[in-house]
Structure 1
Amino acid sequence: MYTNSTTRNTDLFSIATSGVNASNQLLTTAGNNIANVNTEGFVRERTNFVTQLTGGVGQSTTERVLNVFAQNQLRRDTTMQSEFEAFYTKTSVLDNMFASESNSIASSMSRFFAAIQTASDDPTSIASRQSVLTEAQSMVGQIGTVSGFLRQKEEEFNLELETNIDQVNGLIQTISDLNKSIVIAEANLRNDEPGALLNQRDKAILDLASLVSIETRASSNNSGAIMVNLTSGESLVMEDGSFSVFDVSNDADLNAKSLELTSNGKPTTLSILETDLGGSIGGLFRFRDEVLETSRRELGQIALAITETMNTQNRQGMDYDKQLGSNIFTLPDFIGLDYQGNSNTNSIVTGRIAPGAAADISSADYEITIDSVTPGAPPTLGITVSALNADGSAVTDTNGVAISQTFTGVEAADGTFTSVIGGLELEFSTGTNYTVGDQFLIQPTKNTADLIEVTMTRPEDLALAGPLRIDAAAGNLGDAELLSTTVSNTYVDNTLADNRVSAFDGNGDIHGPGAAPGGTVGAPAQIVFTASDEFQVLDSAGTVITVVSGITDMSNLLAQAESSGAGPTWPAAFSALDDYPGYDFSLAGIPKAGDSFTIGFNTDGVNDNRNGLLMADLQNVTNLQVDNSGSGETVSFHEAYANIVSDVGQKTASADIALQSANALKASSEDWFLSVSGVSLDEEAANLIKYQQSYQAAARLLSTAQDLFNTILSVVS
């Protein structure tokens, strides 16, 4: 037979007293839970007791009822939901703006090109010409309005980012301070958790998780402190009590904010990859890099391309005053932004769109690095030009290789522009004051869409006519007739110092002998067929420039003459230039020996609308790059704008779906967390009754013990 050797030597009075105290503690815990039912971040508490072997209730322990797995899941889902909410909220604003018909740039472009078509139908109508300039103003104004709206969104992003960063830094400081308080409290309270402090810290961590993606782990020495890291690995709150705070920084572009971490305990600064941040701050950066900045640059690309294309085409025509055409629009120059590490902050790099280079314009930014500086008259530079995406990463080609090009012998002189990649020309006006290793950032498409202006004020300056006239001789016997004329260059420089020079002299004629490059013959002024498959090219003085034999088609006769002419060959002085003479023509039919065609300036071509028709058709030309990789895929202006609208709309729709899913996941994790840690009034009400009854029973036991004690006293006395 088993005999319990333990002797209960605790009296009834002590047992009853411990029971009353225990019930009182339970009532206090339940009351505290009920009182905090509406307190955000409160975790319900539970008091546990141990039984004393000698009788009565032993030491109590009050702790929070917490499922760590549910808590961590809630933090993760909160981070994801906050990121998608920030991204969707911002993106939907842009989607509504682009989707609004009142903001449609496509409509403005359509009206502009329709006005050109109307003016081309009657090139002598000044009213129709004026309508073109009016619609040009409207189109540029609409582009400027949308561009200004996007610029405003960047400013709002920067303000909101700074506000959120202040919140993050405040929460990091709060968590660090609470860690210290919790360590002290747990050292002083051996049996009870400092629930209020723990709740405050958990609430701060959850708030931090809504802003950035974080991970937590307990201190290795079980002191009660919590260490907090970004999910990318960087520490925010360390075990030794030190912490890191976010700082907003930037490099060349002062408006392109980036983040870095600075430790209060060590002189260390770390750059942060914004795409890994998560939370609402990560959502903001995703909106900026994936939607806002790409849209701004693509809109700027369209604006620069359409205006430079129209300028180029108008320059290739003849206006109402029988002069060569001029620019319709004024395009801005781009000032290179200094990188912070530049040793010479007074150096200047200026960029502009090269004339006629509309098809080369991309939406990329460009980083210019000074590789070498060579003194001279003028001094020359070695430079590297690299294409960058809106987020600062390198643009790669279809093979994944970064797009970059090196140039040597670049003249560093005021007024001297050098053509580089992306349809750009760069001016290095500081001479020998550039420093090797210095870098500059050129952003051709980011801030320029709202800076374009209509410079043409006279409707007569619209060059609707073609400047070139091809006349068939009256005595031609063959059936060859003019099929088309092509004017690709009308640049006037009678000094012949510029490689861009054309055969047009700017005085209503083309270069004759002595005025053309080389000085021996004039520009092509006549084609004379000596056989059906052979022709001579002559200048205005009748001098044979070259002879072409064995032709099989009648297209681009002057191009054929340059590539295959013989006895004499095409002048080397012509070929040394970029595009001389700058015109060509094609025939249809079969000529006979003796047939001739005269080439000259279109002196009386006021009713001519050939160039106007080309200008109107530019809306259908697909020469705008789809991306920056050099894939060769091109679209029209309307298609490019539709791509912006479609891309923003697609990302908004995807973000909406992702947000709905994130909301559902967060709601589920909240339910799971609250089912364990939340206060249930029904449960607490039942506990109140239970604890009240146990309190009354223990009090009755205490009263009984008192009666017995009084009885003993009366007997003894």
Structure 2
Amino acid sequence: MSSLLAIGKTGLYAAQAALSTTGHNITNSNVAGYSRQVVVQQTAAALNTGAGFMGTGTQIAQIKRYSDEFMNAQVRSAQSSTSGLESYLGQIKQIDNLLADTTSGLTPAMQGFFKGIQDMAANRASVPSRQAMLSNAESLATRLNGLDARLGEIRDGVNSEIESSVTAINTYAKQIAKLNEQISTFASSPQRPPNDLLDQRDQLVLELNKYVKATVLPGDNSSLTISIGNGQPLVVGQDSYQLATMQSPTDLTRLEVGYQVGNKVSVLSDGALPGGKLGGVLEFRSTTLDKAQSQLGKIAVGLAFEFNQQHELGLDQNGQPGKPFFNIAPGFVGASINNAKGTVDDPAAVVKSKIVDPSKLSDNDYEVKFNDGKYQVVSLPGRQAVGSVEPDADGNATLVVNGVELSFSERPRQGDTFLVRPTINGAADFKVLINDVSQIAAAAPILGGDLPSNTGTGKISETKVDSDFLDTPPALPITLTFNKGTPAAPPAPATPDTLTGFPAGETIYKVDAKGNKTEITAPVEFENGATYSFGGISVTMTGAPNGGDRFTISDNSSGVGDTRNIAALGELQTKNIFNGGTATLQSSYAQMVSEVGNKTREVQINAAAGNAQLAQAQGAQADVSGVNLDEEATNLIKYQQAYQAASKVMQIAGTIFDSLLSISR
């Protein structure tokens, strides 16, 4: 009877274990990362009785955990990708809303500024119109400053996100390594795996992938080896490695991520850590935030450059040449903290940046490195070589790259590195330099006219000056004389109508409607509607003058009633300033808004697709590992009946044993 009792006992224990496991499944059904467990039974070793093998009951082979590593990897990959896209989307939506806002964006302020210029052109002598124009300029500056400040706040938020993500990654790495250690102690008993610890570890690995894409490989003693980036190990067995945040060596406002081994930290590029929240914000910063801030700065710098250039060609109410109207921010130059340090007698290399041609500006930053006796310049991102220059013995050199003049001084050392961001401060440092309405240079510096004694209909219909006029202006007044040509009288050929009186030594150009110049030589042929340029002065001649008619170009020091320069300033609204002379201020801003908007929608669509893919992967994983409460309820009944049946076997064994005892009495 002892064998029957023992058989019943094994069944009782097995049913009890199954009931406990089922209850464990039910109570943990809402625990993240929990995998369904099932008691796996097998027949106990049979007893050879001589007449044959007799069963001895059942035994528990293992508590099986239903987990598919392929499914787990699919979920981790989808989680990493989706978290990165969601992180990117959350950041870029801030810029999209900022730039596209019809009230707080740049467009209303820019339109108001140029409307103020147009109103002043119509009421030049009006002090209120001048004051309104100046106020609109201040409003434009405030708007640009505000937009840049908001982008700066977003950048600060990115830094905070980087710090918190690195902290989370390091925490998860330590916890996973600790679980590796605990799990490895059970490696000698593969039939008794620590299921709950395995679930905890898998869940931590999944949580880690919310912050950075992690590659998971099996290690020794049931441990996991986890690497990130370009193969940098994060967890190896019981050991974990740490990431660190540090200031960029060339830009102290920028946080970078480094990989720490002992006391040494190696900087990881933004692209080396894809996926997860960390990868998302790093990608956002390098592909959208940096570009948006530089583009906004480019618009500010381009406006200030062109406006100042035209304003300085005019005369103010005091008859003085116009002063710079807006501040033009110099480019940001960051010297690497790893550069060789200079001394008073032997200073370290210095790099300066300024804008010289807005039409050639790109949205790129630049890295300047002194190598093999030359300053070598590459664009960022992409690291495409764009120029190099060899300094003189004192370290001085100048190089113009994409509309940016880089000047070098002092003595460079091998490996000295600089980060140049030509327009990043353009919007932040944009401000109005004039605070007196009388200093607005509305008048042009020269006048064109014809003498009362002229008998023809010819006239100077337009006069303009350019920057060459400020450098070396020709002596005024200048008198041009029309010389009537003669018809052909064989054998003498015909002679053309000509203009004489151009300043000696000045090169004369004929300018077409597109502004293209063609050098011409004396005698200068007269053509109705033609524009002639010399010494920074351009005059357009129209009509039909008679021989001997004279035309004067004189100084306009009084500037009374003259609105030509303020009108020219107003024309900057539609002037093609950027992209090789193909884009206006407004179209450049519209393109910037469009790029951010399109990228936002692209990321939004990808994030939605990523969430769908993640849900699909999680569903497939749940089919394998998830707890089905209906199924578990059925199992409870099944195992309860098994428990009762096993109890009955033991009860019968006891009854038989009691009967045998009673016979012996």
Q: TM-score range by the shorter chain?
A: 0.7 to 0.9
* Residue 531 to residue 238, structure 1, CA distance change in 2 (3 Å): farther
Indicate the larger mover: 551-560 or 75-84: 551-560
3-state DSSP of counterpart to 1:330: coil
Relative to structure 1, the CA distance from residue 564 to residue 652 in structure 2 (aligned partners, 3 Å threshold; closer, same or farther) is same
3-state SS of the aligned residue for 1:691?
helix
The answer on whether the counterparts of 2:354 and 2:404 sit within 8 Å (CA) in structure 1 is: yes
The offset of 1:32, in angstroms, is 1.3
Instruction: List per-residue Cα deviations over 1:512-553 (Å, max 9, x = no partner).
Output: xxxxxxxxxxx78332344444333355xxxx55798xx999
Q: State the partner residue of 2:442.
A: 464
User: C-alpha distance in 2, partners of 1:558/1:207?
Assistant: 63
Aligned length: 632
Gaps in structure 1 of 5+ consecutive residues: 1-8, 374-381, 396-401, 493-500, 504-509, 512-522, 568-578, 626-631
Q: 1:270 deviation in Å? A: 6.7
Task: Summarize the alignment of residues 103-502 of structure 1 with structure 2, pairs less than 5 Å apart.
Answer: 103-187=104-188, 189-219=189-219, 221=220, 223-230=221-228, 232-239=230-237, 241-249=238-246, 250-263=248-261, 269=266, 271-274=268-271, 277-344=274-341, 347=348, 349=350, 351=352, 353-354=354-355, 357-370=357-370, 383-386=375-378, 388-389=379-380, 392-394=381-383, 402-406=385-389, 408-409=391-392, 418=398, 420-428=400-408, 431-432=410-411, 434-489=412-467, 501-502=471-472
1:564 aligned partner: 521
Query: Residue 585 of structure 1 aligns to which amino acid in structure 2?
Result: V
Classify the secondary structure of the residue corresponding to 1:152.
helix
1:167, distance to aligned residue in structure 2 (A): 0.5
The SS at the match of 1:624 is: coil
For residues 628-686 of structure 1, the C-alpha deviation after alignment (integer angstroms, 9 at most, x for no partner) is xxxx3631001111112111111122222222222222222222222221122221121
CA 1:285–1:12 in structure 2 vs 1: closer, same or farther (change >3 Å)? same
Change (3 A) 1:150 1:465: same
Deviation, 1:587, is 1.1
Deviation, structure 1 residue 565: 4.3
**Letter in structure 2 aligned against 1:647:** E
Counterpart of 2:21 in structure 1 is: 29
Equivalent-residue separation in structure 2 for 1:281 and 1:616 (angstroms)? 46
Q: CA deviation at 1:73?
A: 1.6
AA in 1 matched with 2:387: S
Cα gap change, 1:412 to 1:319, in 2 (>3 Å): farther
Say if 2:14 and 2:58, in contact at 8 Å, map to a contact too. Answer: yes
Residue 6 of structure 1: aligned partner: none
Q: Which amino acid counterpart does residue 58 of structure 2 have in structure 1?
A: V
Question: Quick one: structure 1 residues 684 and 546, their matched pair in 2 at CA, closer, same or farther if it must change by over 3 Å?
Answer: closer
Rounded to whole Å, the distance in 2 between the matches of 1:329 and 1:547 is: 32
Judged with a 3 Å threshold, the aligned counterparts in structure 2 of structure 1 residues 706 and 674 are, in CA distance, closer, same or farther, namely: same
Pick aligned residue for 2:498 from 527, 534, 547: 534
Deviation at 1:185, TM superposition (A): 2.3
Q: Is the 8 A contact 1:258 1:274 kept in 2?
A: no
Compute the displacement of 1:607 (Å).
0.6
Give CA-to-partner distance per residue, 1:213-259, whole Å, 9 cap, x none.
2232222x5x21112233754432235x4443222242312233333
User: Is the alpha carbon distance of 1:77 and 1:634 closer, same or farther for their aligned partners in structure 2, counting shifts above 3 Å?
Assistant: same
* Mapped partners of 1:118, 1:621: distance in 2: 19
Q: Which moved more, 1:147-156 or 1:345-354?
A: 345-354
Q: d(CA) in 2 for partners of 1:352 and 1:190?
A: 66
Output the aligned Cα RMSD.
3.1
1:267-315 Cα offsets, whole Å, 9 max, x none, are 6847345265112222112221222111111000001111121111100
Partner of 1:582: 536
Instruction: Look up the match of 1:598.
Output: 552
Instruction: Return the letter of the residue paired with 2:340.
Output: S
Q: What is the SS of the residue equivalent to 1:128?
A: helix
Report the AA paired with residue 197 of structure 2: L
Residue deviations 1:579-605 (CA, integer Å, cap 9, x gap)? 983222221245454333222211333
- TM (normalized to structure 1)? 0.81
The C-alpha deviation readout for 1:335-355, integer Å capped at 9, x for no partner, is 521123311266363535356
For the 8 Å contact 2:482–2:499, the answer to whether it is kept is yes
Letter of the structure 1 residue corresponding to residue 480 of structure 2: I
Measure the CA separation in 1 of the matches of 2:660 and 2:520: 134
When the two structures are superposed, what TM-score results if normalisation uses the length of structure 2?
0.87
- 79 and 608 in structure 1: CA distance in 2 versus 1, 3 angstrom threshold: same
Describe the shift of the 1:427–1:553 C-alpha distance in structure 2 as closer, same or farther (beyond 3 A): closer
Distance 1:18 1:197 in 2: 27
SS at match of 1:702: helix
The percent identity for this pair of structures is 26
| Displacement after TM superposition at 1:691 (Å) | 1.0
Distance in 2 of aligned mates of 1:339 and 1:72: 41
Distance across 1 between alignment mates of 2:27 and 2:634: 15
